[in-house]
């Protein structure tokens, strides 16, 4: 007879109930869309790498603010609020550290690759391979630490798309190392997944009347 409560699974269930609204996916997808825009800016406006990225910063902030507002106004009134326990909190901190380290590594490598290989060097496979590995590792870490298996699928998708984009660039089918096509396709898939999850979430958790959702009845 197995009547014991699996608290690990219960914690995952509680955490996922609070976060399975698709907003992470929408935020990731919108952020990836920005990677599609930056290469286009390089040719259209003549802005350098640094200024192209700087111009995108307000967009990043806007996306973050929009997602936060949706969570506050739409999600929380339907599912409630939790404050996660210490184990999950430390997992999220580890994920933040991984993200920062990978970002720094990515910046260092990008600068080094520009000097060593040149962006237009057709023999430079290191950059797409490094970028694929970076995305795969990041999404795999997120899948494990956030108990969200579909993030691993996103990582595998990026790991295939980036080299595929590079191959099509070298065959002169795509421009900008295939970045616009690769990132916009991946972003579209991820955003659509997020939107489907959001719709399912809203159906699963209809809004309750405030008087029914809060306040203990004291006898």
Q: Closer CB to another protein, residue 68 or residue 122? A: 68
* Cα distance between residue 136 and residue 159, in whole Å: 6
Q: Closer CB to another protein, residue 80 or residue 118? A: 80
The residue from 1, 44, 120, 123 that contacts another protein (CB under 8 A) is 1
- The 3-state secondary structure of 112-140, one letter per residue: HHHHHCCCCCCCCCHHHHHHHHHHHHHHH
* Cα distance between residue 138 and residue 156, in whole Å: 11
Q: Closer CB to another protein, residue 14 or residue 152? A: 14
Q: Is residue 206 near another protein by the rule CB under 8 A?
A: no
Q: Using CB under 8 A, count the residues that bind another protein.
A: 32
The answer to whether the CB of 163 falls within 8 A of the CB of 150 is: no
Q: Is residue 10 near another protein by the rule CB under 8 A?
A: yes
- Return the structure tokens found at 81: 């609020």
Name the segment binding another protein (CB under 8 A); options: 4-12, 103-111, 143-151, 194-202. 4-12
Q: How far is the CB of 205 from another protein (least distance, A)?
A: 7
Q: Is residue 120 near another protein by the rule CB under 8 A?
A: no
Instruction: Name the strand (E) or helix (H) holding 166.
Output: helix 150-170
Q: Is residue 217 near another protein by the rule CB under 8 A?
A: yes
- Burial code (b: 16+ CB inside 10 Å, e: under 16) for 137-153 equals ebbbbbbebbbbeebbe
Query: Which residues ranging from 70 to 89 are in contact with another protein (CB under 8 A)?
Result: 72, 76-77, 79-86
CB neighbours (10 Å) of residue 75? Answer: 22
Chain positions contacting another protein, by CB under 8 A: 1, 3-5, 7, 10-11, 13-14, 17-18, 72, 76-77, 79-86, 205, 208, 212-219
């Amino acid at each position: 007879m197995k009547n014991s409560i699996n608290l690990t699974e219960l914690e995952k269930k509680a955490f996922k109930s609070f976060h399975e609204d698709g907003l992470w996916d929408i935020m990731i997808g919108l952020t990836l869309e920005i990677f599609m825009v930056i290469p286009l800016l390089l040719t259209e406006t003549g802005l350098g790498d640094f200024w192209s990225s700087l111009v995108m910063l307000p967009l990043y902030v806007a996306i973050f603010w929009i997602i936060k507002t949706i969570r506050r106004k739409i999600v929380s009134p339907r599912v409630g609020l939790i404050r996660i326990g210490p184990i999950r909190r430390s997992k999220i901190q580890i994920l933040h550290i991984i993200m920062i380290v990978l970002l720094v590594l990515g910046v260092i490598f990008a600068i080094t690759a520009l000097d060593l290989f040149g962006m237009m060097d057709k023999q430079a496979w290191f950059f797409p391979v490094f970028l694929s590995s970076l995305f795969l590792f990041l999404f795999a870490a997120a899948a494990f630490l956030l108990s969200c298996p579909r993030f691993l699928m996103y990582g595998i998708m990026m790991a295939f798309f980036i080299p595929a984009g590079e191959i099509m660039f070298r065959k002169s089918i795509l421009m900008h190392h295939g970045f616009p096509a690769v990132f916009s396709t991946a972003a579209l898939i991820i955003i659509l997944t997020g939107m489907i999850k959001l719709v399912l979430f809203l159906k699963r958790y209809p809004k309750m009347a405030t008087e029914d959702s809060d306040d203990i009845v004291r006898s």
